[in-house]
Each structure stands twice: as structure tokens, then as C-alpha cells.
Amino acid sequence: MPENSVQMKRRLKILFLCTGNSCRSQMAEGWARHLKADTIEPYSAGIETHGLNPNAVLVMAEAGVDISRHRSKLVEELKNVAFDHVITVCDNAHESCPLFPGKTRVVHVGFDDPPRLAQQANTEEEALGIYRRVRDEIRAFIEKLPEALNG
């Protein structure tokens, strides 16, 4: 079939929103770019900026996803993007989520906070295990997109 007769489906614009845009939302954006680039145009932002978490970068790299060039950004920096969905990945962002214009649908899918849980770890390896678990949980969710948003 000629290329011009194939209608390209528009990718969904999805914002992964977290408090500081340092860990969970960054991992979600990374997984979405890695696994769903054909169907999702992913973004991440926070209601504050906390910098990019080095342990999140490390465990994502272990899984073959480079997020080292990402940066922590505020949701206001993306105000000109018309999102189809905003997915809050932490309770604080869900509770403090700004209003989005138009038909943007806000969905909450909470994940544990690796930096907070890692504070209780006895070793660096135990701390990284927490990051890896959350990384894998986020991946499992991203693998179900965009169908998971229809439920």
C-alpha cells in the first residue's frame, strides 16, 4: 500500500506528573519513550523540581533505558502542550494536581516513593532494590498503555 494512503494515527500526549519530577515520573516518561513511542508522546513534570534522582537514572540504565539527559521540570513549562491524559504517579501530585484545560483526563496511578523508602535501607544494594521494584512496577503499567486508560 502506498505510504500516502496509510493514515498515521496521532500519538496520545501523556504527562506523568509527580511532586518533584525526580524519580517516578521520570522513569514513567523513560519507559513510555522506550516501549510506546509509536502510540504515546510522553512528558514528565512536577509541581516542584527536585533534580533528577541519580538512583533512578542508574536503575533505568540497568534496564536499558537512558534517562540521564532528562531534567526535572515544572508543569508550568509545558503549559502550551494540549495533553490527552495526565497520570499522577504519586499521592502528593494527585492531591495538588493543577487544573488542565480542555478535554485532558487526569488519572491517578500511585507508585511507592523510592527515595523515601530507601532511607530505611541498611545497604546501598537494598536501597537500589527498592528503586528496581518501583521501576519494574512502572514498566508493567506502561506496557498496558494506552488501553489501561480506557477502564
How far apart, in whole angstroms, are the C-alpha atoms of residue 30 and residue 131?
14
CB 59 within 8 A of CB 132: yes
CA distance 118 to 121: 5
- Active-site residue list: 18, 90, 97
CA quadruple 83, 43, 18, 72: dihedral, nearest 10: -140
